[in-house]
Amino acid sequence: MEHLFLIGIGTGNPEHVTGEARRTLREADLILIPRKGPDKADLADLRQQICAEVLDDPAAVIREFDLPVRDASGDYRKGVDDWHDAIAMAWAEAIARHEKPVHRVALLIWGDPSLYDSSLRIAARLTPQPMIRVIPGITAMQALTAAHAIPVNDIGAPFIVTTGRQIRDHGWPANTDTAIVMLDGQCSFQSLPAKDFDIWWGAYLGMKEELLIRGPLDIVANEIVARRAQARAEHGWIMDIYLLRRRR
């Protein structure tokens, strides 16, 4: 492998895939698609649908592989490091099994590879090191603010992008009235004083299953928790994100 392309594909809508991304997919010798188990099979299916729309013969270049599972029983950082090592090994093994010479490998990344995605860190573990190129995509943050038709920040004001873990462990971030919260499986907004915030929440953004809820946090928090649990049970997985803004 000489070149590895990390291609941002947006949040599930094939129309979010850019012209540059489509061209790069057509030029790839091999496209790797992870399988995350039967409960998340439609995530692989969405990647397959994008490839079927772009490629003349997807079967000739697509290879699925089983994504390793992170061990969450011990230290968080060590568990993530070990997991990334295992994923890099899974990439290398999938490439080695391909029956034809491979010079250009592509991976389809949800959203954009630059925002709370570990593909670049995993790619850095490959030996020998390929030339890595990122094809940018629409982020969940962009899809959320577009779906609610809101600006991400107040006039001239900063905002922060953070995780649910940070909200739970450290509370509201300093020096900002606006936070975008990602990777939050525990609805960490429940740890904040609800009467002080408004929320704009979205799940399955860009997909036909899209869910949107907005309003004062003290009024809609329970609805979000219930709808999220229901949707996750129905689909077996959920990807969601929300914007919180401190009330004045």
What percentage of residues in the chain have a pLDDT greater than 90?
76
**Any idea what DSSP says for residue 69?**
P
Check whether 40 has a pLDDT greater than 80: no
Domains of the chain listed by start with CATH number: 3-138 (3.40.1010.10), 141-246 (3.30.950.10)
Comparison of pLDDT for 224 and 56, the residue scoring more: 224
In the structure, what pLDDT confidence band is assigned to residue 36 with cuts at 50, 70 and 90?
confident
**What is the pLDDT, as a whole number, of residue 74?**
82
Confidence of residue 93 (pLDDT cuts 50, 70, 90): very high
How many Cα atoms within 13 Å fall on the side-chain side of residue 80? Answer: 7
For 141-162, the pLDDT digits (tens) are 999 999 999 999 999 999 999 9
More confident residue, 85 or 98: 85
Looking at residue 202, the DSSP 8-state letter turns out to be E
Residue 241 reports pLDDT greater than 80: yes
Q: Are 123 and 144 in contact (CB under 8 A)?
A: no
On whether the CB atoms of residues 125 and 68 are closer than 8 A, the answer is no
Among 76-85, 143-152, 174-183, the minimum mean pLDDT is found in 76-85
Comparison of pLDDT for 235 and 242, the residue scoring more: 242
- Please classify residue 124 by burial: count the beta carbons closer than 10 Å to its beta carbon, then call 0-12 exposed, 13-18 middle and 19+ buried: exposed
Check: CB of residue 178 under 8 Å from CB of residue 160. yes
Instruction: Give residue for tokens 């941002």.
Output: 8
Average pLDDT, the chain: 93
Q: Which of 129, 192, 147 has the alpha carbon at shortest distance from 2?
A: 129
Dihedral pair phi/psi, residue 161, rounded to 5° = -110, 125
State whether residue 177 is helix, strand or coil.
Answer: coil
Going by pLDDT thresholds of 50, 70 and 90, the confidence category of residue 35 is: confident
Task: Give SS3 for 62.
Answer: strand
